[in-house]
């Protein structure tokens, strides 16, 4: 038994999801003739109270399409220094959109409306790049699954309105935030211009992300998706997994959150561990005491069939998910307690 806690992307579709995929009605989605993709897009657009939604192969492509939609080359995107769009999308913002990022030194990947105001370049000052977009991430990945306070998100909307900026949410793990904070997709749809959500993280699909927005923006999105090479044909087999996941795998995220908290409690008590970041959702980030060798610690866990990853800067990460079972959980807690 391998206990794989490297990411919530390691899940494999189980029987119910596979059955849904195999019995999907499909068509050519580049001609918008795939009924299952159309159903998924309509359902997610409705959840967020947006006019339109578009299926993407990856969250990175959905985010990059959003950046392209909201910016022109030479302009600047405001995001946190931990942002996935800045750190983990291969430099796509500069490669695809020719934009730079103004990084905010936030708290666990989150920042305030005042910090946004301070980061906006004066539009008449032609020496500096024109600020055109603010990108927020909820939950924050590198920030340890932290959830934004919705009031802060609304205050930033006001700043975007005042300064004529686009407002994008990287909601790869927004489902976790909705469950943890008892929020609704609609309230997010009211505030953001575009939102990307992943089906392939906590929801357990093999592939898939969806970008939502209003009609005019999304008309641009389908063109950009085509340019990025993301126009797919009988992709309803994958959209069917998404529909199945929306029905079956959202509420259960609380189990992942509870297990992550249990892990945090055990880690807290270990003398080799210096700090455990607050655990709000399914991500556990912790630091070892300086005398403990990081790679040795990871290897010792690996010898016990437990896989975790380093996040750099002495931080380690465990992520709970659909395929991390109760039996694995008991075993992990008992192995950790013996460290």
Ligand X SMILES: *Cc1c(COP(=O)(O)O)cnc(C)c1O
CB of 232 to ligand X, least distance (A): 15
Say whether residue 96 binds ligand X (CB under 6 A): no
84 lies in the binding site for ligand X (CB under 6 A) = yes
Question: Of 70-78, 158-166, 193-201, 270-278, which part binds ligand X (CB under 6 A)?
Answer: 193-201
Nearest approach, Cβ of residue 67 and ligand X (Å): 12
Q: Does 172 bind ligand X (CB under 6 A)?
A: yes
Single residue of 34, 41, 75, 137 touching ligand X by CB under 6 A: 137
- Please tell me the distance from the alpha carbon of residue 184 to that of residue 48, in angstroms, as a whole number: 8
Residues 6+ apart with CB under 8 A from 298: 308, 309, 310, 316
Pick from 13, 59, 145, 189 the residue near ligand X by CB under 6 A.
59
Residue 71 touches ligand X, criterion: CB under 6 A: no
Strand partners, 3: 306
Q: Does 75 bind ligand X (CB under 6 A)?
A: no
Task: Give whichever of 198 and 273 is closer to ligand X, judged by the CB atom.
Answer: 198
Considering only 44, 174, 197, 198, the residue that binds ligand X (CB under 6 A) is 198
Shortest separation between residue 113's beta carbon and ligand X, angstroms: 21
Q: Does 132 bind ligand X (CB under 6 A)?
A: no
Q: Which is nearer to ligand X, 201 or 321 (CB)?
A: 201
Which one among 52, 131, 176, 209 touches ligand X, defined by CB under 6 A? 209
How many residues interact with ligand X (rule CB under 6 A)? 13
Residue nearest to ligand X (CB): 59
* Residue 230 sits in the site that holds ligand X (CB under 6 A): no
Minimum Å distance from CB 177 to ligand X?
11
> Does residue 108 interact with ligand X by CB under 6 A?
no
- Choices 117-125, 143-151, 197-205, 289-297 (CB under 6 A): range interacting with ligand X: 197-205
Q: What does the buried/exposed string (b/e) look like for 17-31 if buried means 16 or more CB atoms within 10 Å of the residue's CB? A: beebbeebebbebee
| In the complex, minimum distance from the CB of residue 316 to ligand X, in angstroms, rounded to a whole number | 17
Q: Which is nearer to ligand X, 207 or 332 (CB)?
A: 207
CB 288 within 8 A of CB 316: yes
Peptide bond into 139 cis (omega under 30): yes
Per CB under 6 A, residues contacting ligand X are 58-60, 63, 84, 137, 141, 170, 172, 198, 200-201, 209
């Amino acid at each position: 038994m391998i206990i794989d806690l490297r990411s919530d992307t390691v899940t494999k579709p189980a029987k119910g999801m596979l059955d849904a995929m195999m019995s999907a009605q499909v068509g050519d989605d580049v001609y918008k003739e795939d009924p299952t993709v159309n159903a998924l897009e309509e359902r997610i657009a409705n959840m967020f109270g947006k006019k339109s939604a578009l299926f993407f192969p990856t969250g990175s492509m959905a985010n990059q399409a959003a950046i392209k939609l909201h910016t022109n080359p030479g302009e600047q995107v405001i995001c946190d220094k931990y942002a996935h769009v800045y750190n983990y999308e291969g430099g796509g913002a500069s490669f695809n959109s020719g934009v730079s990022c103004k990084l905010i030194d936030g708290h666990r990947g989150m920042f305030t409306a005042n910090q946004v105001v301070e980061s906006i370049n004066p539009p008449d000052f032609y020496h500096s790049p024109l600020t055109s977009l603010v990108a927020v991430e909820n939950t924050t990945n590198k920030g340890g699954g932290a959830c934004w306070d919705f009031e802060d998100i609304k205050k930033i909307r006001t700043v975007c309105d005042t300064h004529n900026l686009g407002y994008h949410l990287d909601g790869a793990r927004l489902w976790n935030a909705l469950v943890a904070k008892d929020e609704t997709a609609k309230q997010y749809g009211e505030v953001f211009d575009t939102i990307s959500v992943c089906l392939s993280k906590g929801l357990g699909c093999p592939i898939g992300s969806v970008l939502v927005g209003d009609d005019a923006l999304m008309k641009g999105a389908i063109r950009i998706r085509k340019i990025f090479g993301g126009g797919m044909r009988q992709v309803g087999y994958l959209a069917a997994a998404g529909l199945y996941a929306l029905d079956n795998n959202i509420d259960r995220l609380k189990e992942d959150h509870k297990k992550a908290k249990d892990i945090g409690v055990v880690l807290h008590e270990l003398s080799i561990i210096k700090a455990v970041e607050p655990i709000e959702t399914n991500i556990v980030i912790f630091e070892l005491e300086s005398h403990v060798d990081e790679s040795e610690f990871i290897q010792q866990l690996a010898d016990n069939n437990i896989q975790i990853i380093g996040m750099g800067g002495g931080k380690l990460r465990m992520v709970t998910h659909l395929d991390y079972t109760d039996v694995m959980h008991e075993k992990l807690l008992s192995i950790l307690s013996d460290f």
